[in-house]
Chains A and B, each alone.
Chain A
Amino acid sequence: MRACVKASGRRVWGLVYRHLSVYRRSWPRVVEMAYWPALQLLIWGFTAQFFARGHGAGGAMAGGALIAGVLLWEITLRGQLGVTFTFLEDIWSRNLGHVFVSPLRPAELIASLLIVSLFRTVFGLLPAFVIAYLLYAFNILVLGPALFLFLANLMVMGWWVALLIVSLLFRYGAGAEALAWTVAFGITPFACVFYPLSALPIWLQPVAIVLPPEHIFAGMRVALFAHSMAWSELAMAALLNGLWLLVASGVFAGQFRAARVRGALISIGE
Chain B
Amino acid sequence: MDAITVKNLTKRYPGTLAVDDISFSVPQGAVVGLLGGNGAGKTTTISMLLGLLVPTDGTLIVLGHDMASDRFSALARMNFSSPYIALPQKLSVIENLRVYGHLYNVPRLGRRIGELAEQFNLTGLLGRLAGELSAGQKTRVALAKSLINRPDLLLLDEPTASLDPDTGDFVRTALEAYRRESGASILLASHNMAEVERLCDDVLVMKLGRIVDRGTPENLLARYGRDDMEQVFLDISRGTEVGV
- Give the A interface residue count (CB, 8 A): 32
Query: Shortest CB–CB separation between residue B94 and chain A, in angstroms?
Result: 10
Partner of B102, one of A14, A93, A98: A14
Partner of B53, one of A10, A94, A266: A266
Q: Judge whether A17 and B102 touch: CB under 8 Å.
A: yes
Would you give the 0/1 interface string for A43-72, flagging 1 where the beta carbon is closer than 8 Å to chain B? 000000000000000000000000000000
Check: A102 CB closer than 8 A to any chain B CB: yes
Q: How far is the CA of A199 from the CA of B225 in the complex (A)?
A: 85
By a CB distance below 8 angstroms, the chain A residues around B145 are 98
Q: Judge whether B104 and A102 touch: CB under 8 Å.
A: yes
Check: B100 CB closer than 8 A to any chain A CB: yes
Q: Judge whether A102 and B53 touch: CB under 8 Å.
A: no
Q: How far is the CA of A100 from the CA of B75 in the complex (A)?
A: 10
Query: Shortest CB–CB separation between residue A102 and chain B, in angstroms?
Result: 4
By a CB distance below 8 angstroms, the chain A residues around B102 are 10-11, 13-14, 17
Q: Judge whether A265 and B53 touch: CB under 8 Å.
A: yes
Check: B177 CB closer than 8 A to any chain A CB: no
Q: Judge whether B105 and A7 touch: CB under 8 Å.
A: yes
Which residues from 1 to 58 on chain B have a C-beta closer than 8 Å to any C-beta of chain A? 13, 43-44, 47, 50-54
Check: B103 CB closer than 8 A to any chain A CB: yes
Q: How far is the CA of A262 from the CA of B13 in the complex (A)?
A: 7
Check: B88 CB closer than 8 A to any chain A CB: yes
By a CB distance below 8 angstroms, the chain B residues around A175 are none
Check: B82 CB closer than 8 A to any chain A CB: yes
Nearest A residue to B95 via CB reads A21
Query: Shortest CB–CB separation between residue A96 and chain B, in angstroms?
Result: 8
Main secondary structure of the interface of A (DSSP, over half): helix
A11/B103 contact (C-beta < 8 A), A97-B52, A261-B54 known:
yes
Check: A101 CB closer than 8 A to any chain B CB: yes
Q: How far is the CA of A93 from the CA of B99 in the complex (A)?
A: 14
A104/B85 contact (C-beta < 8 A), A97-B52, A266-B53 known:
no
By a CB distance below 8 angstroms, the chain A residues around B90 are 22, 25-26, 93
By a CB distance below 8 angstroms, the chain A residues around B87 are 93, 95, 98
Check: A227 CB closer than 8 A to any chain B CB: no
Query: Shortest CB–CB separation between residue A19 and chain B, in angstroms?
Result: 9
Q: Judge whether A260 and B53 touch: CB under 8 Å.
A: yes
Q: Judge whether A105 and B72 touch: CB under 8 Å.
A: yes
By a CB distance below 8 angstroms, the chain A residues around B52 are 97, 100-101, 260, 263, 265-266
**In the complex, which of the residues A22, A25, A103, A263 has the most CB atoms of chain B within 10 Å of its own CB atom?**
A103
A93/B53 contact (C-beta < 8 A), A98-B100, A103-B72, A266-B47 known:
no
Nearest A residue to B106 via CB reads A10
Check: B91 CB closer than 8 A to any chain A CB: yes
A103/B47 contact (C-beta < 8 A), A15-B99, A260-B54, A263-B13 known:
no
By a CB distance below 8 angstroms, the chain A residues around B53 are 260-261, 263, 265-266
Would you give the 0/1 interface string for A207-225, flagging 1 where the beta carbon is closer than 8 Å to chain B? 0000000000000000000
Nearest A residue to B81 via CB reads A98
Q: Judge whether B91 and A22 touch: CB under 8 Å.
A: yes
By a CB distance below 8 angstroms, the chain B residues around A95 are 85-88
29 contacts between A and B (CB under 8 A): A10-B102, A10-B103, A14-B98, A15-B103, A17-B102, A18-B88, A18-B95, A21-B91, A26-B90, A93-B86, A93-B88, A93-B89, A93-B90, A94-B85, A95-B86, A95-B88, A98-B85, A100-B52, A101-B75, A101-B79, A101-B80, A102-B103, A260-B52, A260-B54, A261-B53, A263-B13, A263-B47, A266-B52, A266-B53
Known pairs A11-B103, A14-B102, A263-B13; list 12 more (Cβ under 8 Å). A7-B105, A10-B103, A15-B103, A18-B95, A90-B88, A94-B86, A95-B87, A98-B87, A102-B103, A104-B103, A260-B54, A266-B53
Residues of A within 8 A of B (CB): 7, 10-11, 13-15, 17-18, 21-22, 25-26, 90, 93-95, 97-105, 257, 260-263, 265-266
